Amino acid sequence: MDEMMNAIVFFWFPLSLIPLGAWFSLSSKTNLRTNFGRFAAVLGFILVCISPWTVPTSPSSSIGHLLGFIIGPSSLLLIGIYLLIFSGNVPVGKLPSSDRKLGTFCMALGSLWFCLMQWGEFTPIYDGREVNRFWLIFFPTFILMICCLSSVLSISMLIIGEERQTESMVMRMVSIVSIILIICGLTIDGKNISSETFTTYFWLSVSDLFGILVGVSLSIFIFGFVIYVYERSIGEPNSVPPPTPEELSQASQKIAANIGGAESE
């Protein structure tokens, strides 16, 4: 089997199983199809993670290499976020308030793990030679998105939310920590990644996110403009004439027959 076929069988096909399995598990009401979707998504994810061993010559396998490295800290962050959210002021599925400490610990440990991957010994080194190029893209983009989202959420909670000062303060703290990490990445060299490399990929991430923001904004504007032009072109709807006495009398009889009342004189 040639290299192209190996990449299709052991990487791209398993990669396609992840969204396909997730779609099956979420869209189906039967247990059989739901379980099949979950199994397919998990199997695809595992095969993608082991692609550095199944298709070591394919450049695409570096994606699986990165997924294998970030699954640990990402899981800790997700567990921490879940515990913090559902141990707070929520109407359903409320967890004990003591879980907030565990959630905070999980988030701190996951963040420390990511920092050690950037500045310490845990940097994803692909094939024992160089830093995984997808990690160079992932980490600056990840920190930048956290900074932007936490800032927006903090302001939204103060403007829209009610009695959400504590949650807004937490989001502000997350935004401040992410800004500190960005400054550290721009100024401090890691064991395997220099600050110049981080700076290059950080500004590339800024340009990508700015392009996405501009594209989404233009799409919304164009969609709204088309709807506005169409609504202006169809004119005002024709007014309906008032009911005649015969129609009012007939409606009164129907209402009286259905609710058991007598028709008023």
**Does residue 94 register a pLDDT over 80?**
no
In the predicted model, what is the mean pLDDT of residues 32-38? Answer: 85
Query: Is 0.85 topped by the overall pTM?
Result: no
Q: Which amino acid is at 70?
A: I
62: Cβ contacts below 8 Å, ≥ 6 apart: 52, 126, 132, 133, 134
CA distances from 232 to 118, 221, 225, 229 (A): 55, 16, 11, 5
Q: Rounded to whole angstroms, how far apart are CA atoms 263 and 255?
A: 9
Cα 31–34–36 angle (5° rounding)? Answer: 105
Please tell me whether residues 44 and 113 are part of one structural domain: no
Domain shared by 173 and 196, yes or no: yes
Q: Check residue 163 and give its pLDDT.
A: 64
State yes or no: pLDDT of 107 exceeds 70. Answer: yes
Q: What is the pLDDT of residue 61?
A: 84
pLDDT score for 88: 66
Convert the pLDDT of each residue in 123-134 to its tens digit: 888 877 788 888
Q: What are phi and psi of 190, to 5 degrees?
A: -90, 180
Flag whether pLDDT at 246 surpasses 80: yes
Among 25, 42, 58, give the residue marking a domain's end: 58
Q: What is the pLDDT of residues 138-192, one digit of tens each?
A: 999 999 998 888 888 888 877 776 666 777 787 888 889 899 999 999 999 988 8
- With a pLDDT cut of 90, the percent of the chain lying above it is 23
- Both 108 and 155 in a single domain? yes
The reply to whether 34 and 65 lie within a common domain is: no
239: in domain: no
Residues 25 and 50 in one domain: yes
Q: Are residue 70 and residue 145 in the same domain, yes or no?
A: yes
Tell me the three state secondary structure of residue 205. Answer: helix
What mean pLDDT, rounded, does the chain reach? Answer: 84
Residue 265's pLDDT band, with cuts at 50, 70 and 90, is very low
In a domain, 177, yes or no: yes
* Helical (H) or strand (E) element with 125: strand 125-126
Q: In the prediction, which pLDDT does 140 show?
A: 92
Contacts of 253 (CB under 8 A, 6+ apart): 263
Boundary-marking domain end, from 58, 85, 107: 58
Decide if pLDDT at 97 tops 80: no
> What is the pLDDT at residue 109?
92
Mean pLDDT, to the nearest integer, of 207-233? 90
Q: Is 205 found in the same domain as 109?
A: yes
Asked whether residue 234 is domain-assigned, the answer is no
Residue 223's pLDDT is what? 93
Query: Per-residue pLDDT for 261 more than 60?
Result: no
Nearest to 67 by CA among 116, 132, 146, 150: 132
Distance, in Å, from the CA atom of 178 to the CA atom of 145, rounded to the nearest integer, reads: 9
Structural domain containing residue 77: 59-229
Q: Tell whether 37 and 110 lie within a shared domain.
A: no
Tell me: do 44 and 93 sit in the same domain.
no
Last residue of a domain, one of 26, 58, 90: 58
121 and 1 fall within a common domain: no
Same domain, yes or no: 22 and 115: no
Kindly state whether residue 255 falls inside one of the protein's structural domains. no
Q: Is the dihedral of CA 224, 229, 232, 233 positive or negative?
A: negative
Burial letters 158-190, b for 16+ CB under 10 A, else e = eeeeeebeebbebbbebbeebbebbebbeeeeb
Task: Answer with the residue of higher pLDDT: 200 or 83.
Answer: 200
Residue 33 has pLDDT above 70, yes or no: yes
Residue 179 in tokens: 């800004």
- What gap in Å lies between CA 110 and CA 172, rounded to an integer? 19
Total domains in the fold of the chain: 2
Residues 172, 216 within the same domain: yes
